[in-house]
Amino acid sequence: MPKNNRLFFKVLEILKEKQMTQTELAKKAGITQPSLSRILAGKYNVKISILEKIAEALDVPAGYLLEEQEFFEKKEAEKKESDTVGNNLIIKLIEEQNQKFEEKIKRLENEIELMKVKKSCGHCYPG
């Protein structure tokens, strides 16, 4: 018995209504038939993007395949995960830029010190 009974039975119910096979659904949803079988068997933790493709292929709202609350909770969790990944990338880029600026500042400070030395010792560094 599939772990995700609700999804499994709702998809089977719709397939029966539409006289569509799992193979046809998979093709229409843009996923492989073995992947669809594993999703329906509960062997994959189905992502919202895939669930939306399946729902679109069945011509039903994605929330209908799961209970509405579960659908929106799952969608929000995936959005937070995506936002975290994006934020981490932005932080990394900012840190890299800061490091480059710090290195540039250090080089400029060294050049300023060298210029001060040259200016204070005019006969050492005629200019």
Q: pLDDT tens for residues 62-95? A: 877 776 546 656 767 777 777 777 777 888 888 8
Q: Top-level CATH class of 5-66?
A: mainly alpha
Higher pLDDT, 44 or 107: 107
Amino acid 2: pLDDT = 46
- Averaged over 102-115, what is the pLDDT? 89
The span from the CA of 43 to the CA of 71, in Å, is: 18
Q: In Å, how far are 44, 78, 95, 107 from 111, measured between CA atoms?
A: 60, 50, 24, 6
Domain residue spans of the chain: 5-66
User: Which residue is it, tokens 């936002």?
Assistant: 83
Q: What is the pLDDT of residues 86-106, one digit of tens each?
A: 777 888 888 888 888 889 989
